[in-house]
């Protein structure tokens, strides 16, 4: 008869919460992280900013990793690990490894489709970034990835609000 609201995890420092947050996300356990850290450190905002960094520099492997790990792509963890190993072995960026993914054995066909879709969107959005404002690129990213649609409106209301705050911040900056 317990609900998720009956549980709390208390940590002494914000950085101690990170392993808990990752595990809760990986098991799709609803959570709300209440801490004295800023908007730009929220996981959903980091997803968007990582994608923007990737558009600026395809060889930004940390950003590419974060984008590949987004649940919206639905890539198997094993596929991401294989790409990381390939990138290290060949001394190429993670983006270049993704471009060469079809040469790897053991990657499921669905993951090939997701990787191809991601690479196409990155190229398309890079071109868009040279023609349009950052706000337009962020909007296109959210729309093309169906990023907000993937959230549960009730359970993930804080995440949706954070994305809205980021978008407003970008528009105000413009």
Among residues 124, 143, 146, 22, the alpha carbon closest in space to that of 72 is found at 146
Mean pLDDT for 18-29 is 88
- Would the pLDDT of 76 be above 60? yes
- What integer pLDDT is reported at residue 109 of this predicted model? 92
**Residue 91 zone, left/alpha/beta (φ > 0; ψ -120 to 50; rest):** left
CB atoms within 10 A of CB 19: 10
Structure token pair of residue 71: 């649940």
**Residue 92 zone, left/alpha/beta (φ > 0; ψ -120 to 50; rest):** beta
CA distance 94 to 144: 22
- Would the pLDDT of 56 be above 70? yes
- What integer pLDDT is reported at residue 37 of this predicted model? 59
- Would the pLDDT of 110 be above 70? yes
E runs forming strands in the chain:
none
- What integer pLDDT is reported at residue 79 of this predicted model? 96
Please check whether residue 61 is in contact with residue 89, taking contact to mean a CB–CB distance below 8 angstroms: no
């Amino acid at each position: 008869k317990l609900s998720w609201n009956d549980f709390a995890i208390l940590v002494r420092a914000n950085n101690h919460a990170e392993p808990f947050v990752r595990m809760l996300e990986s098991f799709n356990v609803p959570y709300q992280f209440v801490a004295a850290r800023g908007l730009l450190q929220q996981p959903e905002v980091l997803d968007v900013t990582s994608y923007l960094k990737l558009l600026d520099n395809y060889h930004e492997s940390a950003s590419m990793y974060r984008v590949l790990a987004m649940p919206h792509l639905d890539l198997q963890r094993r596929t991401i690990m294989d790409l990381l190993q390939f990138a290290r072995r060949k001394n190429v960026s993670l983006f270049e490894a993704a471009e060469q993914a079809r040469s790897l054995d053991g990657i499921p066909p669905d993951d090939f489709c997701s990787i191809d879709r991601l690479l196409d969107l990155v190229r398309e959005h890079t071109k868009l970034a040279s023609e349009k404002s950052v706000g337009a690129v962020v909007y296109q990213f959210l729309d093309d990835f169906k990023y907000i649609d993937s959230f549960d409106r009730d359970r993930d209301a804080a995440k949706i609000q954070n994305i809205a705050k980021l978008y407003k911040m970008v528009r105000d900056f413009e």
